[in-house]
Amino acid sequence: MSVTILAIESSCDETSAAVCADGKILSNFIASQSVHEQYGGVVPELASRAHMQNIVPVVDKALKEANRTLSDLDAIAFTQAPGLIGSLLVGAQFAKSLALALDKPLIAVHHMQAHVLANLIDQPKPSFPFLCLTVSGGHTQIVLCESPQQMRIIGETIDDAAGEAFDKSAKLLGLPYPGGPLIDKYAKTGNPQRFKFPEPQIPGLDFSFSGLKTAILYFLQENTKQDPQFVDNNLADICASIQHRIISILMNKLKKASKETGITDICIAGGVSANSGLREALKQTGEQLKWNTFIPAFQYCTDNAGMIAITAYYKFLAGEHTALTVSPSAKAEW
Ligand code: KG4
Ligand code: ZN
């Protein structure tokens, strides 16, 4: 039997729709919202309004690109949690209405589980069990994934997320939001050993990034006092040194998780997995420690409906449908 699913993602500031047929992503259309740049972060009310404007054309575009119509669909999937409630509501109401109108099953998807399962899109795929380091603007988690339905968090941040560490550092450097990709860009020509930032000593597999942010703040205050042009004159080295430390915090915990669990199929996911330094570090560590490493294609790293579609596909196969009475939720139990 062939299964075609339309999936919608609207948890934060990207409106996205994807069509998936038998586990293959046929289209993954993403409308980003540039309106937030001027505010230095996502403004929830503006995000909801933009989703309202975007949702119909985005779904239309995803269907057209996939060469499918509404009558081809076997199920409608959407991001149910976690995220900004006003943003989630737009996608959830749209998906519920469409499922009701077409009389097709509805499938609710957990955004963070979908980031992990983005690794099951295209070849080669990791074997179960695998570990996934999910690094986004709101989360930093090491997930042990035993099957598409069975995953558990074995380590997570106790304060800021890795993406926040990038974005807040960038803000201190006077760079616009989101600063992660800019730090990545400037770091490419910088010396990562030039400035030393502290590595926090957190027990187990948990992470902490708030100390790093404070250390960077004091470092910049100190140096700009002596040289007001310090940031401009040393931007590449500062970015490279900050990025180096964020990556070493992430990679050290990932190595520890692999050692403790004996699992060597290792994935990364989430917006920060687009970071070129992290991708390279994963590759190099993988070669050293004989891991099989996996990174989703770039378009499936940041928020996208393709990852919602692949997760929904496995739920569909397992017969997991969701009642139309479902509500979205800003926070979600795993
Ligand atoms: O997964 P995502 O798109 O949205 C959330 O669910 O949070 O992640 C967004 C985060 C932002 O913090 C952004 O700065 C970061 O991913 N990011 C990067 C890069 N590309 C995106 N951080 C570092 N280097 C990058 N190349
Ligand atoms: Zn995300």
75: closest CA among 299, 304, 319?
319
Task: Please give the Cα distance from 163 to 167 (Å, whole number).
Answer: 6
CA of 154 to the centre of ligand 2 (A): 19
pLDDT at 33 over 90: no
CA of 135 to the centre of ligand 1 (A): 8
pLDDT tens, residue by residue, 238-253: 999 999 999 999 999 9
pLDDT at 146 over 90: yes
Q: What HEC string does 82-119 produce?
A: CCCHHHHHHHHHHHHHHHHHHCCCEEEEEHHHHHHHHH
Task: Please give the Cα distance from 294 to 143 (Å, whole number).
Answer: 14
275 and 166 in a single domain? The answer is yes
Number of the ligand 1 atom closest to the C-alpha atom of 303: 3
Average confidence score pLDDT of the chain: 96
Number of the ligand 1 atom closest to the C-alpha atom of 277: 24
142 and 208 in a single domain? The answer is yes
Residue 10 resides in a domain: yes
Residue 331 resides in a domain: no
236 and 268 in a single domain? The answer is yes
- CATH number of the domain residue 55 falls in: 3.30.420.40
Determine if the pTM surpasses 0.75. yes
pLDDT tens, residue by residue, 68-118: 999 999 999 999 999 999 999 999 999 999 999 999 999 999 999 999 999
249 and 265 in a single domain? The answer is yes
189 and 274 in a single domain? The answer is yes
137 and 273 in a single domain? The answer is yes
Q: What is the DSSP letter of 13?
A: S
For the chain, how many structural domains are there in total? 2
106: domain range? Answer: 4-116+300-317
133 and 173 in a single domain? The answer is yes
Q: What is the DSSP letter of 177?
A: S
The set of protein residues with a Cβ atom below 6 angstroms from ligand 1 is: 12, 136-138, 163, 166-167, 178, 180-181, 184, 270-272, 274-275, 302-303
Q: Which pair of tokens denotes residue 246? A: 């964020």
The b-or-e profile of 177-212 (16+ CB within 10 A means b, else e) is bbbbbbbbebbeebebeebebeebebeebbbbbebb
What are the backbone dihedrals phi and psi of residue 333, each rounded to the nearest 5 degrees, phi first? Answer: -65, 145
